[in-house]
Amino acid sequence: MISKESKIYIAGHRGMVGSAIWRQLSEKGYTRLIGLKSNELDLRNQAAVAEFFKVNKPEVVIDAAAKVGGILANNTYPYQFLMENMQIQNNLIDAAHNNDVEKFIFLGSSCIYPKLAPQPLKEEYLLTDSLEPTNEWYALAKITGVKACEAIRKQFGKDYVSLMPTNLYGTHDNFDLNTSHVLPAMIRKFHDAKMNGNSPVTVWGSGTPMREFLYVDDMAASVIFALENTLPEHLYNVGTGTDLSIKELAEMIQKIVGHTGNIIWDQEKPDGTPRKLMDVSKMHELGWKHTTNLEEGITRTYQWFLDNISNFKEVKIH
């Protein structure tokens, strides 16, 4: 049984999702949280991960560690996105299994689903068609993680579950324009343009693709829901169940930031998947639902960006 005294290891505890999970668990009174920085434990190193599990004996593992980035980063570094993500999750899942970790929560991404799958995306659409080429390397790695957890569940009866979030955003996000996702990149672009006399902002693509966004604290709440309950299936979508166009998103962010210049759409640049909306009915039926609306979440995120503008996270890819 999971209790407030259970030893819970959060891999990736300094990232946007991991840090939100850590904050919420601490607030709820969980007292034995374990987190190591990447210079203390390289999750790509199988022997080091195995030794960490043998010594520390966590009872629960939450895998919020991954090499992440947007279209540009995925296209530029396909090998790293495939290999490093597989190394990280394989080492964690295998060490957890070998050390009798009873509960493992694996976090993935909605990009595991086929590019042209019917909307909204249901869990059973996994592996029914081909992936979006601009992020298939990351998606393939995450699919193997989902399948590894399913295999352990099937073969050994352990409570290993995978949560697939929609597009996440929030405090502690990455605002580096070379590696960030669309929402934080827009916050950064509109802010910089506002500071530059409300100069025009160029946004990739046509503005027509539809996207769904979930505030990171809601994602953390879904992880804690999975921690405190035994979920009957191995794979669950986590999102809001509603979406909006990239154009609507840009206009919302522009308004929140207070930028009054023009928006220019660079239609030479790729749009990515036309629509990615999650079917979140399975989580809703179990009793979890998001609580933060998009405007409120972006407002909080922009405030955090302003508070941390001198030292926010810049991701370097080697």
Does residue 258 form part of some domain?
A: no
Q: Is residue 103 a contact partner of residue 227, using CB atoms and an 8 Å limit? A: yes
pLDDT per residue as tens, the chain (318 positions): 899 999 999 999 999 999 999 999 999 999 999 999 999 999 999 999 999 999 999 999 999 999 877 677 778 899 999 999 999 999 999 999 999 999 999 999 999 999 889 999 999 999 999 998 888 999 999 999 999 999 999 999 999 999 999 999 999 998 988 777 889 999 999 999 999 999 999 998 999 999 999 999 999 999 999 999 999 999 999 999 999 999 999 999 999 999 999 999 999 988 877 888 999 999 999 999 999 999 999 999 999 999 998 875 444 433
Q: Looking at the annotation, which residues are catalytic?
A: 138
Taking the C-alpha atoms of residue 262 and residue 60, their distance in angstroms, rounded to an integer, is 49
Phi, psi of 309 (to 5 degrees): -60, -25
Tell me whether residue 271 is annotated as binding.
yes
Which of 78, 185, 84 is closest to 134 using CA atoms?
78
Q: Which domain, by its residues, includes 159?
A: 8-170+211-243+276-292
Does residue 236 form part of some domain?
A: yes
Does residue 316 form part of some domain?
A: no
Biggest CA–CA distance in the chain, Å, is 61
Tell me whether residue 44 is annotated as binding.
no
CATH of the domain at 33: 3.40.50.720
Would you tell me how many other CB atoms lie within 10 Å of the CB of residue 228?
Answer: 9
Q: Is the peptide bond before 120 cis (omega within 30 degrees of 0)?
A: yes
Classify residue 194 by burial, with Cβ atoms within 10 Å: 0-12, 13-18, 19+.
middle
Residue 121 DSSP label: B
Q: What is the count of structural domains for the chain?
A: 1
Tell me whether residue 17 is annotated as binding.
yes
